Structures are given as structure tokens and as C-alpha cells.
Structure 1
């Protein structure tokens, strides 16, 4: 027989209360745990950045895969391009153009054609009228004057379109005259894929430059601008009580970076040419058409870190050191010391520097007279059976031609030595 127990009228209420209390406790615990979980996720994400995507270039080398239209990583000392993507396509360079503007001004200062305190007038055509040209202005008032050095800082640090045009008019007589100087200098430097139409980098139908050419220009600035190159590492510039920061983010985060220039227009995207030196090795990076300021900085960091991790410099031989003695016919001396005249550095894969060997080849039948510095052969560098490069071998001393009777004596001795 089934017994029936009376159900208390309070039971439904008690069950509901219990369920509510249990559910509330669960929700409360979840609510307290969620922020911790999110914070831990953010921390884990920052501690373990995403692995850099890689691709393979035409030489079968694994290189970084970057989201931009073109990039180049070049070794400064040798001009050797370590890696690149689309390096020779002419693209809008935006304010990287100002590197040529500043370079020509710096060369004018070095030659004495310009003086640091020369006054430059801000014409109406150069003036930033109410911020004309975006926020890239030095903000010199209309018809006011600033010195060449102030204007140069306005170009390099503040990326002032107004300063660029004012200097162009001052140096070239007109901006068109200065642009002709820019293109002539580009040709002289071997910038074969570059054509300038203005001094500031605002869009123009045929205003284009390649990533490789921008690296070549950066190297020229570092090599030839001397005391003016440190301007490219300055983080801020104040003129007319307006302080402006350098837009090169790497100057604030990487102590090995000392320049050079940023650029941006809607057409060009975000561009950056930078230089870094670590353990005596200087690399130059160019990024064209990245999609943000952060992206161009991050991509440059990737290239520098990859370059220094994978390459090193090797010095196969030092100038001024005799490598061998070359036999000389009909000279007052029977031989001459042979060596290289200029410093010789090359870039090799990391760990290969110790494996680099040299092979010297002298020109046959060397006859006096021989002048000191005359090329008399070549020195070839090899590693693991692969030729890495070569450089001329020169005579390290003069060798005068012997007199008639001494030459006859040498000729006869030569017959019997065969």
C-alpha cells in the first residue's frame, strides 16, 4: 500500500528560494572570475606575441612577410640588400621626399654655399595657411623669417611642408628650380626609379620613388651629411612656441635607432625610413605603404631584429697589409708587395664570418714601371665553396723600370730559369 505524505504549502517557495540562492551564487562567482580571466588572457597575449609570418624570396631565402607594398633591408657599409619585397616599383613616397630636400640643404651647408644663420623668408606659396597641407607644418608666420638651421629642423623633425617649400625657394630660386636639383642629385646617387615633382612629398601624378632608392638616399645622408645627421635622431622641435614631436616612434623605443624620416598621405599610406646600429653593424630599413603608424614601426622592428639575428659582417682582408709579393719583370726591384687599398667588408650569414677564406690572383707578366696603387690582380672571398665577392689587389709601392743593361741581364737570366 502506497502511503501519501501531505505536502507543505511552503515547499514551492522554499525550493524557489534555494534555486535562486544557488543561481545567484553561481552568477556572483562567474562575475568575480571574469575580470581575472580577461586580465590573464591579456597578460598571456602580451607575453607571447604572435609568431612572425615568413615567406621565401627568389633566392630561396626565408624572409619576413609584411603587409605593405614594398620594403628593403640594406647593409649600410656595403650597400648590400639583405632582403626585400618589391624594391624597385616607383611608389608615392610622401614625406620621405623631404630626405632629399634636407640632404641638398645639408650639402649646401657643408660646402659653404649656405650659412646656418642665413635668413629664409616664408612666402605665401610656402606658408601653411590655416594648417594647409595637414598638420605637417613648422608654422612660420607669413612673410616672417627663420634661419636655415631652424628651417632644416622644421623639415627633418617636424616634417614641415612650409619649411620644405621655403628652403626650396631659397636654395633653388623657386621650387621648380629646386626640384630640378633634386632630380639631378637622385640621378647622381643612382636612384634610377625616382622622380620628384615637389620638395615636400604631397601627391603628384609622377612623384614616385622606390624603396631601394630611399635606402640609397638614406645611406648618402648618413655618409655625407656629417655634423647634420644627428638632427634625424632629435625627438622634438619647438618653434613659434609650438612643440612638435618626431613621428618616428622607434626613436622613443629603440636606442639603436638614430633616424631617419616618416611619411604619410592617403595615397602613399604610412612610410618609414630608419637606421639602426648594433655591435658596429648599421642597417637601413625602408617601409612603403603600411596601413598605420603602428604597423610601419612594428614592421621596421621586425626587419631590424631579423637582419641582426641572421647576418653579420666579415672583413676578409685589411687595407695596407701585404698579402703576397708579386714578381715584376724589368724593374729595379724583382718584386712588389701586393694588398688591397680600401677597407673591404661584406655581409654573410650568421656564423659564417670565421669560415671566409681568400684567394689571390695576380695579373701575369707584370712589367715595370709600376705605380703605387696600380691594380695588379684581385682578391676573392669564398666560404663553404661559394664565392662571396672580390676586390682589386694593388701594388703597395712604386717599382721603377731598370736600366738597359740590367734588363738585358734579367732577360738572359729568365732564359736559363725556364
Structure 2
């Protein structure tokens, strides 16, 4: 099968370019799984394939899952150099009363008026889910909880989280604070990709501070998961955002919210993890560096330039299932004028099934094409009149 697109040719005349199309027997991924979670979403991180969703855009109370955004803001400030891991912040009365031992919620048991390093606060948030730790960090970084919440919302807008709004860094109930399963997976994916140095903290199963040892509540850590976070309030129910890799390095990320008990959360999380890892097979659509075709070049020493993807492109299909053909076409990004440096983005690889665009990936010039000499341009103009 082939596709066509009208573009400007290197000689200035419009022509129809036949676009190469690969045909693979891929099915659109569909996971045969039921979950009692109020909302859920699971993706394959490497390919970006959606594996499962249920009420994925429903706005729900985040509980402690909001601490993923708290940590994203903290990690971002560390990367900017605005704060240091060895920097210490004071434990205010607000932090002690709202999130400390007397509050009855998740706490790091920080003593009033003590000084705590940001490194310890991060562990207290990621592993112990300490509400007091989030307030101390928020006040230390932004000056106040409302100011830090605005930083959280700016980051949410930056990440394109369209169904999330934050009022505080700990996730205690507020009618104006909400997230969605889709936004939580997007946020978790951001943490995994952007902060490889900090991400291993989410896999630590316990942390001791001030003589008190507390274990992570993530039920999947003993089963091979390497993150991320649990959450619970009476209003939100029991939730979890998790990530796990298989032996080949394929990573899934998923969010489950609104369950009724710790046991239900653990059971549903195990079922989701098992289905995500074992229920699909990975198919390579394009290898890293592989030439997929050519795109015309105007006024170039060569008439076209080969294009390649930026990396390996993979798709998933349910194990043992076939499906309708998935077609791939190379779509130039308008007229490509010489000179063309190697690595310049010049086209899109568009993937379709049944006329529906499933995915688009950028394609880059596999080699440089210099500008044509004056003599070459004259020859091309003359020859163009006789073609």
C-alpha cells in the first residue's frame, strides 16, 4: 500500500510524491481487565502506548498522591540550583500542628522548631509520606504553603495536566484540590524521565529519622516495582501510582484511585502490574538509525535526503492476537530547502490504522545535503523544462 502527498519538488514544480508505507499486523492494544478502582490508566512508557484506561480524566481528590507534584517541584528547584540537598529548613508550628504527630495523619515526626535538611525531607516525603515534611519544604522553598501551591500549579500547566489543581503540598482534603489518573501517569512519567538521580528514592522500602523507622506503603515494591507513591484519605479512598520494568527493560506506569481498603489496593495493583507486563508483546516498527525513506530537497546538491527516526519506535499488541494492518507514511514538513544539516527534523512518521492516526514521530535527516552550485541549478532548471 502507498500514500500520496502534494509537495513542491526541488525544481519548483508541484508533483505527487509516493510515500512509502510499511504494513504490520498490529492490533490496537486493549487489555482484557476489570478493576474496582474508581479511575485508572496504564501506559507503556517506552512506546507511549495506552494499555488501559477507566474514567482516566475524572477529577478526584489526590490525597498523598499530590506529593508526587511536591517532589517534582523540589527536584526542579534542585536542578535550577535554587536550593541544595544539605540546606536546612525550620519546622514551623504550622508544619508541626498540621502535619506532625498530633495531626493523626502520615508524618515524619519532625520536632517543633528543629532544623531538617532538604535531603531528609525528600526521603520523608517519598518514603514515609510525611505531611509535616511537605510543609517544611514548601515554606523553606517558597516562603509559604500558598506560594508553593502556585509553583505546583505552574508545573502542572507546564506538563499539560488539564485535570489537576493544587492547594497544598500534602494532599489533605480541600474542595479546590484535584487530579486525574491520566495526569498522575503523566506526572510520574516526568519524574522517571527527568530525574534519574532522584528517582531511585521511590524504590526504598524504609527510612529512619530521629530514631523512628517507617516503611513505604507501596505494596508492589517487594514484587519488583521501583516506585512511586500511595495515597489515602476518607474522601479519596486508597490510591496508588506505580512503575515497574520487566527483564527486557520495558517499563509500565499506572495509576489506580478510589479503592476501599489497603487489601483491595494491593490486589488491584498486583493484577494491573501482571496484566501490563505479561499481557502484551513488543514489536519494533523502526530501529534506531534505520533509514525509512527519502524526502525531496529543493536547490540541493542531491535531490533528496534519507530520513531516520530519533530512536527505536515500538508498538505493543496483546499476546496471541492479530489485528488490522497498521500503515506508516513519511510526511515532509513542507518544502525542505538546502543546505540540510545532518540531524535536522524534516518529516513526520505517521502511523495509522483504519484511517485513524495512532501516533506521529519526528524524522531527521540521516546525512547532510549541501546547497547546489550555480551550474547545478542551471542544469536542473533546463532539465526541468524537458521532464
TM-score by length of 1: 0.78
> Residue 67 and residue 346 in structure 1: after superposition, are their counterparts in 2 closer, same or farther (change >3 A)?
same
Q: Paired residue for 1:265, among 229, 233, 240?
A: 233
Question: Offset at 1:134?
Answer: 1.8
Inter-partner Cα distance in structure 2 for 1:68 and 1:323: 42
Is the Cα–Cα contact under 8 Å of residues 301 and 370 in structure 2 kept in the other structure?
yes
Relative to structure 1, the CA distance from residue 119 to residue 366 in structure 2 (aligned partners, 3 Å threshold; closer, same or farther) is closer
TM norm structure 2: 0.84
Aligned to 1:200: 170
Name the SS of the counterpart of 1:407 in structure 2.
helix
Q: 5 Å matches for 1:151-300?
A: 151-252=121-222, 254-255=223-224, 257-278=225-246, 279-300=248-269
Equivalent position of 1:413 in the other structure = 383
Per the alignment, in what secondary structure is the counterpart of residue 339 of structure 1? strand
Cα gap change, 1:96/1:142 in structure 2, threshold over 3 Å: closer, same or farther? Answer: same
1:402 is displaced (CA, Å) by 2.0
Aligned to 2:23: none
- Matched-pair contact (CA < 8 Å) for 2:308–2:363: yes
Q: Sort the Cα spacing of 1:362 and 1:304 in 2 relative to 1 into closer, same or farther, 3 A.
A: same
Q: Which residue of 2 aligns with 1:63?
A: 32
Name which one, 1 or 2, has greater alpha-carbon Rg: 1
Task: Give CA deviations for 1:278-332 in whole Å, capped at 9, x if unaligned.
Answer: 1311111211110111111110111111122332333311343323344434322
Mapping of residues 379-398 of structure 1, within 5 Å:
379-381=349-351, 388-398=358-368
Decide which moves more: 157-166 or 104-113.
Answer: 104-113
Distance in 1 (alpha carbons) for counterparts of 2:336 and 2:161: 39
User: Partner of 1:286: helix, strand, or coil?
Assistant: strand
Partner Cα distance (2:133, 2:322) in 1: 46
Q: 1:84 aligns with which of 47, 53, 65?
A: 53
- 1:369: Cα distance to partner? 3.4
SS at match of 2:226: strand
Residue 150 (structure 1) aligned with residue 138 (structure 2): no
Give 1:344's aligned residue: 313
Separation in 1, partners of 2:31, 2:122: 40
Instruction: Out of 372-381 and 241-250, give the one that drifted further.
Output: 372-381
Secondary structure of the corresponding residue to residue 321 of structure 1 = coil
Change (3 A) 1:390 1:225: closer
Seen in structure 2, the aligned counterparts of structure 1 residues 315 and 143 have a Cα distance that, compared at 3 Å, is same
Contact 1:128–1:139 under 8 Å retained in 2: no
1:386 CA drift (Å): 8.2
Aligned to 1:413, the other structure's residue is in SS state helix
SS of equivalent residue, structure 1 residue 120: strand
Counterpart in 1 of 2:70?
101
- How far the C-alpha of 1:358 sits from its partner, in A, is 4.5
Cα separation, partners in 2 of 1:107 and 1:362, compared to 1, 3 Å = closer
Shift of 1:414: 2.9
CA distance, structure 1, for counterparts of residue 331 and residue 107 of structure 2: 58
Distance 1:318 1:249 in 2: 36
Cα offset, 1:361, TM superposition: 5.0
Structure 1 alignment gaps of length 5 or more? 1-58
Q: How many residues align?
A: 357
Task: Give the match's secondary structure for 2:94.
Answer: coil
SS of residue in 1 equivalent to 2:383: helix
Residues 329-379 of structure 1, C-alpha deviations (whole Å, 9 max, x = no match):
432234322222344333333357998774445579755333434444433
Question: How far apart are 1:413 and its partner, in Å?
Answer: 2.2
Larger RCO of the pair (alpha carbons < 8 Å, separation 6+)? 2
